[in-house]
Structure 1
């Protein structure tokens, strides 16, 4: 499995310098929420974890002891735009020049049903940490000192690349079965081998519970997993444990490593939908069924079905001919799934046939089906010759008309 660059052990107890921690708009936000420096807010989750790993940070979340209405009042007083994105669960989004920040009141779970949780607000940081899924996601950082708070061994797990549930793995999964897919996604992104035995065993044992989740939630997690640099070892593990079969029974991950290698060789960015196509048989109706079941968009369904229509006929067509017939993205899918080069598509714009029906009529062909047949015949020769210029197209037209 390809892993991020190793980091020193043990992990630092303070966040190292990072561009986002020096943002003036974040300092203003902290001043608005905690003007007297009483420790009322902290950075939490992915921003803390990824900064410790030396990775780029995209999203920033904050936790606070302030109640939602207090957060709103503080933001309003400071003139900071806000959106109540999840106020029922304590989340207010502050809209800042450097990007939005989600601010959530500390919480504890009251009841869970395997899909959703009823929460109550809390004043205890450890209580808030205890309801999070993995130890590496339950790290907090003081926004002024950048000192890290770790309640469940997340720093040690981060140093050893261990993805581990907080508390009893089976209990945490029963609270929300989507955590099984989240576990494997985090294992693919951060984990080491061997994996945490208790966490992996719990995922395997409780995988059938995922059938009660919404298809949209499953699709989102699968796509996030497939978009990672190299998810193939993790998908193989999921298949071996029977987990993959509970969410995507049609999937067979044996060909995925070859696709990942081809993408890397061709310098093409990972694409989750293309990789999903690789997991599925070359069967367009089946691909349509899977796409419908996962509630994919119409465009995604069409693209998945197009990738599933790959076959021996593709080998006889050039990369540019495929792109002309299918579209650039669809041609890239077919080429990469076949292990072929995509170099001919680099910097190449799909052309339009420089011939119109009126030009054919002007040559004496009666308007109607004969024009369409002539146009198709010229187009086929034009594509076969590698899309020559207009002068050559007119020669091809002469040839077609003469043969007709």
Structure 2
């Protein structure tokens, strides 16, 4: 199937044209765009990252970029990758490669000058599409154009062999299936993923967590996550996960016009059990802030819906929105609302004759609770609430 890459904003960038001129000044076909930028442009999607493949060795790439004063960073030079830092954003330039050996986690590679050989080591057919930077003509060795048009995610060659080279490809398969695929899915791919799912246990937790988060951040990963559970894949990385809870959250996000949030979707997969949520966060190597937020989600309660703004004042807007959406409650009251500052300080209570110490903190908490319950009234009402609290709490008449 012959095709050309359609013109897009990124293909017209002057800095990319300068990059191509630096690497291939005589137009010898030494470099091509590859991977996500090509795939996403063909699919009509926004392009985030731009990758280039080249027949040049890494040292030659560095030399040619430096010669024209393009900043070159040897980000992975042992594996053939140099990053060109351009005005419009970085570009990863990788020398054509072939696998020498793999162990399911890492690959030992050798450099090559064969485009098909380089493509054969990639995971999916839709990721092995190359585009000539001068003519934009597509080179497709493995049927990726047809697969992209058919919304089919298919491994290059033998699916089991591709997975045994790197077991993370199981999770990548499901992420790409959620983004580009349709049903019925490729039978060979699903069978290989199910058969080799236990290999995920040997991967680093960071890699697994990163890939899971990227999947959950997609528009609607619920059918894919359900299929992962049916095939026994989800149990290998998130045995606590129940995909049945995910569709309701996604529907709630859409009703509330709230952007998809991967961590919130992870919270939906987990039961309302804060210690378990913290354990999952630790296992997936999430940050301290993510761990705290996931734990807050797991502490959700039906009473949260009774006072959304009070909940947001106590927990924060993000945390309150999480809990309301997970409970299926309306969070419209939080839209365009900023929690106010409590207009009472401990010094004002001391000024009313209360000795500094625990009593001040207790009275402050009581007045604040009343202020929240009344919907955050103004400072005059807070003064009246303080009067009432002093009168009832310590039997002291308000001082003039």
**Shorter-chain TM-score tier:** over 0.9
Q: Tell me how far apart the structure 2 counterparts of residues 22 and 364 of structure 1 sit (CA, whole Å).
A: 73
Alignment partner, residue 373 of structure 1: 362
CA shift, 1:347, in A, is 1.6
Once the two structures are TM-superposed, the CA of residue 126 in structure 1 deviates from its matched residue by 0.1
1:385 equivalent among 374, 381, 384: 374
Matches within 5 A, 1:152-191: 152-191=142-181
Displacement of 1:315 after TM fit?
Answer: 3.1
> Match for residue 194 of structure 2?
204
The offset of 1:367, in angstroms, is 1.4
Q: Deviations over 1:274-314 (max 9, x none)?
A: 00000000000001111111111111111001100112232
Q: Is the counterpart of residue 293 in structure 1 residue 283 in structure 2? A: yes
User: What is the distance in 2 between the residues matched to 1:366 and 1:71?
Assistant: 73
Partner of 1:231: 221
SS state at 2:110 partner: strand
Question: Cα RMSD between the aligned structures?
Answer: 0.8
Once the two structures are superposed, residues 190-215 of structure 1 have per-residue CA deviations (whole angstroms, 9 ceiling, x without a partner) of 00100000011000010001100000
2:100 aligned counterpart, secondary structure = strand
Aligned to 1:61, what secondary structure does the other structure show?
strand
1:16 matched to 2:16? The reply is no
Paired residues of 2:305 and 2:330 also in contact (CA < 8 A): no
1:361 aligns with 2:385: no
Q: Which residue matches 2:135?
A: 145
Give the Å deviation of 1:402. 1.2
Instruction: Find the aligned partners of 1:40 and 1:237 in 2 and give their Cα distance.
Output: 42
335-344 or 106-115: bigger deviation:
335-344
Conservation of the 8 A alpha-carbon contact between 2:325 and 2:331: yes
| Cα displacement (A) at 1:362 | 1.0
Return the match for 1:104 from 57, 82, 94. Answer: 94
Alpha-carbon distance in 2 for matches of 1:128, 1:310 = 50
TM-score (norm 2): 0.97
1:334 to 323, 332, 347: 323
Give CA-to-partner distance per residue, 1:19-41, whole Å, 9 cap, x none. 00000000000000000000000
Given that 2:302 and 2:327 are in contact with CA atoms closer than 8 Å, whether structure 1 keeps it comes out as no
SS in 2 for 1:43: strand
Shift of 1:63: 0.2
* Whole-angstrom CA distance in 2 between matches of 1:342 and 1:65: 54
Q: Which runs of 4+ in 1 moved over 6 A?
A: none
- Residue aligning to 2:113: 123
Distance 1:186 1:29 in 2: 29
2:309 counterpart residue number: 320
Instruction: Report if aligned partners of 2:83, 2:93 keep a CA contact under 8 Å in 1.
Output: yes
| 1:339 Cα offset (Å) | 1.3
Residues 108-149 of structure 1 show CA distances to partners (whole Å, capped at 9, x for unaligned) of: 000000000000000000000000000000000000100000
Determine the C-alpha separation between the residues in 1 that align with 2:136 and 2:3.
9
The secondary structure found in structure 1 opposite 2:173 is: helix
**Partner deviation per Cα, 1:152-183 (whole Å, 9 max, x = no partner):** 00001011010000000001000000000000
For residues 365 and 91 of structure 1, the distance between their equivalents in structure 2, rounded to whole angstroms, comes to: 68
Shift of 1:361: 1.1
Unaligned runs of 5+ in 1: 1-9
Q: Is the 8 A contact 2:97 2:118 kept in 1?
A: yes
SS in 1 for 2:46: coil
State the 1:346 CA deviation: 1.6
- Which residue matches 2:386? 397
CA distance in 1, matches of 2:244, 2:218: 17
Q: Contact 2:152–2:186 (CA<8 Å) still a contact in 1? A: yes
